[in-house]
Structure 1
């Protein structure tokens, strides 16, 4: 298993209905990325949830014990985080992460 397909399916099921038409999927990072208007928003790499977060919210987000900087390239990537399974167990928490990813994509579209 290259990435957690159950998590990918949960993301599909929890994308807000009004945003569904904005999303496409693309395989990358050895996993899957969910693109909002062609901008990476959330994804799955192995068992981690990958989320793009606007800079202003990074400090608060990084205080969550389930979160670490995305270091896929062995160096932290700006505005990218990984969330471990503890941080997305409930659908309510998963929706919060998806919302942060959508927020980042919308901001970058302007």
Structure 2
């Protein structure tokens, strides 16, 4: 697989009691969606969180977080998270809260 199953398990556990969560293979990894909207995912070497453009500066202040850029251009509202960040419960929880707030603000698909 192109992603770390252990990192996926951490995210899966974080989201286990959140109604409306589903999983989908995307971007060469695994993404978690809330009512059809991407919340977070894992890829080779780490993960990503969709925090939305307004919360992006707050997310980027978390150690181990960087702008997400698969194609060389930053993807606004999305951040890349290092393996170390995802392995840290407090930092992962902070990003997860931002991502869930963003996804929860969108109408269900």
TM-score (norm 1): 0.87
Tell me the number of residue pairs that the alignment of Structure 1 and Structure 2 aligns. 108
2:82 corresponds to: 84
After TM superposition, give the deviation of residue 86 of structure 1 in Å.
Answer: 2.6
Contact preservation (8 Å) 1:51, 1:81: yes
Verify: 1:61 aligned to 2:86, yes or no. no
* Structure 2 stretches lacking a partner, 5+ long: none
Matches of 1:90 and 1:63, distance apart in 2? 15
After TM superposition, give the deviation of residue 33 of structure 1 in Å.
Answer: 0.4
Stretch of structure 1 that moved more, 99-108 or 36-45: 99-108
Closer/same/farther in 2, CA of residues 96 and 41 from structure 1, 3 Å limit: same
Contact preservation (8 Å) 2:21, 2:34: yes
Stretch of structure 1 that moved more, 73-82 or 93-102: 93-102
1:36 corresponds to: 34
Closer/same/farther in 2, CA of residues 82 and 55 from structure 1, 3 Å limit: same
2:5 corresponds to: 5
Q: Structure 1: which 4+ aligned runs deviate by more than 3 Å?
A: none
Q: What whole-Å deviation, never above 9, does each CA across 1:35-80 have from its counterpart, x for those lacking one?
A: 1000001000112120011222211222334111110122110101
Stretch of structure 1 that moved more, 23-32 or 85-94: 85-94
TM-score (norm 2): 0.87
Which of the pair is proportionally richer in helix? 1
